[in-house]
Amino acid sequence: MSASAAPLEIVAASKSFRTPEGGTVTALDNVSVRLGGSEFVTLLGPSGCGKTTLLRTISGFESLDSGDIVIYGRNVTDWPAHKRPVNTVFQTYALFAHMSVGRNVGYALEIAGQNQRTIRSQVGEMLELVGLTGLENRSISQLSGGQRQRVALARALAAKPQLLLLDEPLSALDKNLRQKMQHELKTIQQELGIGFVFVTHDQDEALTMSDRVAVLAHGQIQQIGAPEDLYKRPANLFTADFLGESNLIPVEAAGGTAHLGDGQHFPYSGLEGRGTLMLRPEELSRAAGDGPALAFPGRVSARYYTGKDYQLELASETFGALQASLRDDGAVPAIGEAVTLYSSLQNLHVIDEVVA
């Protein structure tokens, strides 16, 4: 293993599957990704986007039609799954019900022929890491969902993989436990200092846990970057629309100025021609503020209380339906009330695509 090599490089990976009808479906289309150091990278996208296929080609459970998988400088594209220096935590956990917690965690070490002293030491270390010390002799059937998830994680880490792959391992947990495990997984990853590749369709999960997020659709990476960059500066309409709520408003840019359909305009030095202004709901407010702002008049057509704020839908004659997130300050407009919302020019982000 080269100390200077990247934990993972995926180079021009492509994979297609035959359909029952005799056709083909492209799951991966020339995908390239590189992990830098001990990163937590999340593959995010809707069902069928290719994220699980990509994970399975890294693990060796699926073979590529073309392209390469390189782990710490070693091309493992043709290596079988059991030879690759990776381990996987599955959505179903895949625990052995007839084995105790300790036997589950130490199973890979037993198969590798490790002596019992080493196995006991490593199992104890892993159970301490995931907060299950003292449960070595507990049966799997006696564990809660969160405890089973921890056993699966400990088992995957016991063999000290160079890279850990996680295929939606939190999807079966309830909301509160899921949020708790998100923070615990990130803490464990930082303590171990190894790369994690995490698959999810949950946007909040991806934003919370990741150093970088790769948004996939149609077998291709639409954008990869830090969560804040993807959320605030999406590169295309798919990322803007998929990642969180977005107001997508047509604009026309010329001569350093972008124009809205109602005649409002703002300085913009990017594209020339038609594009789309993206505004997140939380970027709209009832006050214009001290600086220049865009105004969006309309009438409240729906209002939902979330516990932290109110989500409003504003019916605008010019801009259609707009989404806004307003703090519960006692002055949130009622359904049917006419209101004007504002966005500071600092919040504006224009995408070089035309919204339908």
Say which residue the tokens 């789309």 belong to. 276
Residue 70 phi, psi (nearest 5): -125, 125
pLDDT, residue 37, reads 83
Q: Are 224 and 215 in contact (CB under 8 A)?
A: yes
- CATH fold, domain 8-237, is Rossmann fold (3.40.50)
Q: Give residue limits of the domains in the chain.
A: 8-237, 245-351
The residues, ordered by sequence, that sit 6+ positions from 99 with a Cβ below 8 Å of its Cβ are 107, 140
Please tell me if the domain spanning 8-237 has the same topology as the one spanning 245-351: no
Residue 4: predicted pLDDT: 67
What is the assigned CATH class of domain 245-351? mainly beta
Q: Residue 176 has what pLDDT? A: 83
User: What is the rounded distance in angstroms from the CA atom of residue 322 to the CA atom of residue 133?
Assistant: 51
Q: To which residue do tokens 């009438």 refer? A: 299
What was the pLDDT predicted at 184? Answer: 86
Are β-strands 195-200 and 40-44 bridged in parallel, bridged antiparallel, or unpaired? parallel
By the 10 Å C-beta count (0-12 exposed, 13-18 middle, 19+ buried), 193 is classed as exposed
Distance CA(234)–CA(3), nearest Å, equals 33
DSSP for 164-194, written as a single string: EEEESTTTTS-HHHHHHHHHHHHHHHHHHT-
Nearest Cα to Cα of residue 44 among 309, 196, 242 = 242
CA-to-CA separations, 260 to 13, 298, 350, in angstroms, rounded: 41, 16, 12
Instruction: Let me know: does 49 contact 206? Beta carbons within 8 Å.
Output: no
pTM over 0.75: yes
- pLDDT 10s per residue in the chain (356 long)? 555 689 999 999 999 999 888 899 999 999 999 998 889 999 999 999 999 999 999 999 999 999 999 999 999 999 999 999 999 988 887 888 899 999 999 988 888 888 899 999 999 999 998 889 999 999 999 998 888 888 989 999 988 899 999 998 888 778 888 888 888 889 989 988 999 999 999 998 999 999 999 999 999 999 999 999 999 999 999 999 999 899 999 999 999 999 999 999 999 988 889 999 999 999 999 988 888 999 999 999 999 998 889 999 999 999 999 999 998 777 889 999 999 999 999 889 999 999 87
Residue 33 CA neighbour count, 13 Å, CB half: 33
